[in-house]
Structure 1
Amino acid sequence: MNRVSTLFLKIAVILIGLPVLALCIFLVPEIATFAVELFPNIPFLNVLVFIYMYVTAIPFYVALYQALKLLSYIDKNKAFSELSVMTLKKIKYCAMTISSLYVVGMPFFYFMAELDDAPGIIVIGLVIIFASMVIAVFAAVLQRLLKNAIDIKSENDLTV
């Protein structure tokens, strides 16, 4: 039963990564073209948009890889180990990085929304920031709980 659950979760993690990959391939060039149309005076804006969007995708995929590693630790009955704690720590840092990058990019989103009269751009940015922070807090709580469980387990092993 345990392997079926983790297999389902591994498939879900991969399926989460596919739409983001499709967005990076198909939507980012459109966003870059749109930004150049809105701000024709800024040289190399399309390159900056490409760099920004792809740099924000890197921690996302690192976090997905760490989630797959965590699921493999669960499969190998190493869920209560320091490896799992370190994996959760990396997921937390990736989520905080994504949130920070989007906070830095929000002024640009604001100017794009003002020029195009599309407030949805700002909402999308805020949703990404909020979701990343929720994931970071959740990973931090899980990391602390797992660390406490490992400490209690090691104390119990020493007393026996």
Structure 2
Amino acid sequence: MKKLPLVFLKGVIILIAMATLAFLIFFPPQEGRARDLDLLSIYLDPVILYAYAASIAFFTALYKAFQLLGLIGDQKIFTPEAVKALRGIRNCALILGGSIILLAVFIRITHSAEDDPAGFIAMSLVLSFAALVVATAAAIFGRVLHGAIDIKSENELTI
């Protein structure tokens, strides 16, 4: 594969990571419930702490995608390391989807009477389904890649 598309995709991954990190740092004080709170109370909110913990899976998946692009650039796509990277992306997507659903359940149970969590719950369902699609795609690509590696090793043995 040509180097320019790989550099572009790596740049996109870096931009996504930077934008997400900026959102995680700068959004909590701007959120509506945080107007009258001090900074420590804002960042020690259970939902914010949970979002930070769940973001570990997101950033790990981005790292694995970056790693996979590096393997593609080095012409090492048909290696067990690529299958391992895809498996890591799948696992991170499943963890992220599950954590989004758990947060939606928590919000549904603990919301106050004057709040309407319907929009947040709908957004959570969409995001968890998106994570499920990513996990499914990574699993399918991993199986196809593993099959291609097996065929490649068989062909090398017959020659």
Give the TM-score of the pair, scaled to structure 1: 0.85
Structure 1 residue 46, shift from structure 2 partner:
4.1
C-alpha distance in 2, partners of 1:44/1:14? 27
Q: Over residues 19-48 of structure 1, what are the superposed CA-to-partner deviations in whole Å (9 max), with x where a residue is unaligned?
A: 2112101223445x728x9xxxxx999432
Residues 99 and 128 of structure 1 are in contact (CA less than 8 Å); yes or no, is this contact kept in structure 2? yes
**Helix, strand or coil: the match of 1:116?**
coil
Q: 1:77 to 1:113 in 2, by over 3 A?
A: farther
**Which amino acid in structure 1 is aligned with residue 122 of structure 2?**
V
Structure 1 residue 130 and structure 2 residue 124: aligned? no
Structure 1 residue 66 and structure 2 residue 69: aligned? no
Does 102-111 or 150-159 show the bigger shift? 102-111
C-alpha distance in 1, partners of 2:112/2:19? 24
**Aligned position for 2:20:** 20
How many residue pairs were aligned? 154
Residues 86 and 139 of structure 2 are in contact (CA less than 8 Å); yes or no, is this contact kept in structure 1? yes
**Which amino acid in structure 1 is aligned with residue 23 of structure 2?**
L
C-alpha distance in 2, partners of 1:108/1:119? 13
Structure 1 residue 56, shift from structure 2 partner:
1.0
Give the TM-score of the pair, scaled to structure 2: 0.86
Moved over 6 A (4+): none
Does 61-70 or 49-58 show the bigger shift? 49-58
Structure 1 residue 50, shift from structure 2 partner:
2.5
**Aligned position for 2:149:** 150
Q: 1:51 to 1:68 in 2, by over 3 A?
A: same
Q: Structure 2, unaligned stretches of length 5 or more?
A: none
C-alpha distance in 1, partners of 2:113/2:76? 51
**Aligned position for 1:40:** none
Q: What RMSD over aligned residues (CA atoms) do the two structures have, in Å?
A: 2.5
**Aligned position for 2:92:** 94
C-alpha distance in 2, partners of 1:45/1:14? 25
Higher helix share: 1
**Helix, strand or coil: the match of 1:115?**
coil
